[in-house]
Amino acid sequence: MKKKNGTLSDIIYYIFVIGFGFVMIYPILWMIGSSLKPETEIFGNAASLIPGEWLWGNYAQGWEGFGGIGFDVYFRNSMIVTTLVVIGTVCSASIVAYGFARINFKFKAILFGCLMATVMLPVQITLIPQYILFHNVGWVNTFYPLIVPAFLGGQPFFIFLLIQFIRGIPRELDEAAIIDGCSKFGVFLRIILPLLKPALVTVIIFAFMWTWDDFLAPLIYLNSASLHTVTIGLRNFMDADAGTNWGPLLAMSSLSLFPQFVLFAFFQKYLVQGIATTGIK
């Protein structure tokens, strides 16, 4: 496939990818650069990516957080919630997607319709009834309202995503396994899951991103400061009344990108391997 005499096309490729890549990442570089600037320089000397004087004070001040509860606590809370949500989503969404993609059961079309409909209703609307529900169970001010739904199918987005990927897997593979004596669940574990690896990686990345960035649900369910997540911590720097502390806000925002960055950097190899080395074994 790849032509060896493509040096010219390689050069064009790299020039394009690097140039466009810089445009893509410029805002992020600006944010990180600014997080190292003193407050007056952030906007006064905005055009420069590199701080006039390097200042780590924003990080120290931001890390302290509010009233004795700092970002160490927020990061730990976010980590707990996000990790559990990712695990729950991967396990439950994959099996449910398998059911929808491969097994014929009664009312499947209707249930699939329900699944899709839940994506089409804005979360802001179901938030209050759901809050009342969780309050009655006594789960307000705990992580459960954020975590448990992930184990029960999680976001329909992921189920639908995995359904699409499973439908791309040839059925002959299932049938062969069934002839070998596999149960339906066995087919899922032995045939579907291994082939679903790239899709599962995207699920991990997205579930992590969305949970990590979620603001509304943590805001409403987590009252105690000791349970706050990073997003709430960040939002606490902004107050229309008392003024926004931009330096610490940008510093902690930069820091909050880090876990996602590491996660993606680790998992991207499952998405971008050389063509010759992957595919169906």
Partner 1 sequence: MAKADNEVRINQAPPPDREILRMEKKKALKESLTGYAIISPWLLGFFVLVLGPILASFYLSFTDYDLLSSPTWIGFDNYVQILTNDPRFKTSIIATLVFVFVSTPLKLLFALALAVLFNTGRKGTGFFTTIYYIPSIIGGSVAIAVVWRQLFGRNGAVNDILDSLGIAGLNWIGNPDTALSVLIILVIWQFGSPMIIFLAGLRQIPTELYEAASVDGAGRIQTFLKITLPMLTPVIFFNLIMQTIGGFMLFTQAYLITQGGPMDSTLFYALYLYEMAFEYLRMGYASAMAWILLVLIAIITIIIFKTSSRWVFYESEGGR
Partner 2 sequence: MKMNKLKAVVMMFLLVGLVTIMVACGGNEDSNANVNNGADNSADPETNEANNGDSGENNSAAGDEEDVTIRVAWWGGQERHDMTIQAIELFEAEYPNITVEPEYTSWDGYWERLSTQAAGNNLPDIINMDNSKLMEYSSRDLLVDLQPLIDDGHINMDDVEDVYQDINVAEDGTVMGISLGANALGIAENKDLLAEHDINLEPGYTYDDMIDAMHKIQDNTDEEFFGFDFGNSEFEMFFVYARQHGQSVFNPEGDGLGFEEGTLVEFFDMVQTMVNEEAAASHDIMMDYIDGGNSMLGEGKAAMNMTASNQIIGIQQSSDMEIGLNVMPSIEGGEDGNWIRPSMSFSISSHSEQHEASAKFIDFFTNNLEVNEILQADRGVPVSSVVREHLAGIVDGATAETFAYLELVEDYTSPADPLSPAGESEVRGSFQRVVETLKYDQATPEEATQQFMQEAQAILQ
Nearest approach in angstroms of CB 212 to partner 2 is 17
Sign of the four-CA dihedral 144, 120, 205, 60 = negative
Question: Does 182 help bind partner 2 (rule: CB under 8 A)?
Answer: no
Task: Tell whether residue 100 is a contact of partner 1 (CB under 8 A).
Answer: yes
Rg (CA), the chain: 23
Q: Dihedral, CA atoms, 88, 119, 203, 74, nearest 10 degrees?
A: -60
Residue 97 interacting with partner 2 (CB under 8 A): no
Looking up tokens 């449910």, which residue turns up? 96
In the chain the first and final C-alpha atoms are separated, in Å, by 19
- Assess 268 for contact with partner 2 (CB under 8 A): no
If one asks whether residue 96 binds partner 1 (CB under 8 A), the answer comes out as: yes
Q: Is 206 in the site for partner 1 (CB under 8 A)?
A: yes
**Is residue 60 involved in binding partner 2 (CB under 8 A)?**
no
Q: Confirm or reject binding of residue 58 to partner 1 (CB under 8 A).
A: no
Measured from the CB atom, the residue of 54 and 105 that comes closer to partner 1 is 105
256 interacts with, out of partner 1, partner 2, none, CB within 5 to 8 A per kind: partner 1
> Contacting partner 1 (CB under 8 A), which of 55, 115, 193, 219?
115
When CB distances are held under 5 to 8 angstroms depending on the partner's kind, the choice from partner 2, partner 1, none that residue 13 binds is partner 1
The yes or no reply on residue 2 touching partner 1 (CB under 8 A) is yes
Look at residues 233, 100, 123, 98 and name the one whose alpha carbon lies nearest to residue 174. 98
Using rule CB under 8 A, residue 209 touches partner 2: no
Give least dist CB 67 to partner 1, A. 20
**What are the tokens at 270?**
């499952």
Q: Which of 217, 214, 206, 220 is nearest to 234 (CA)?
A: 214
Residue 219 contacts which entry, partner 2, partner 1, none (Cβ below 5-8 A, type-dependent): partner 2
Cβ closer to partner 2: 115 or 225? 225
* Interface with partner 1, residue 189, by CB under 8 A: no
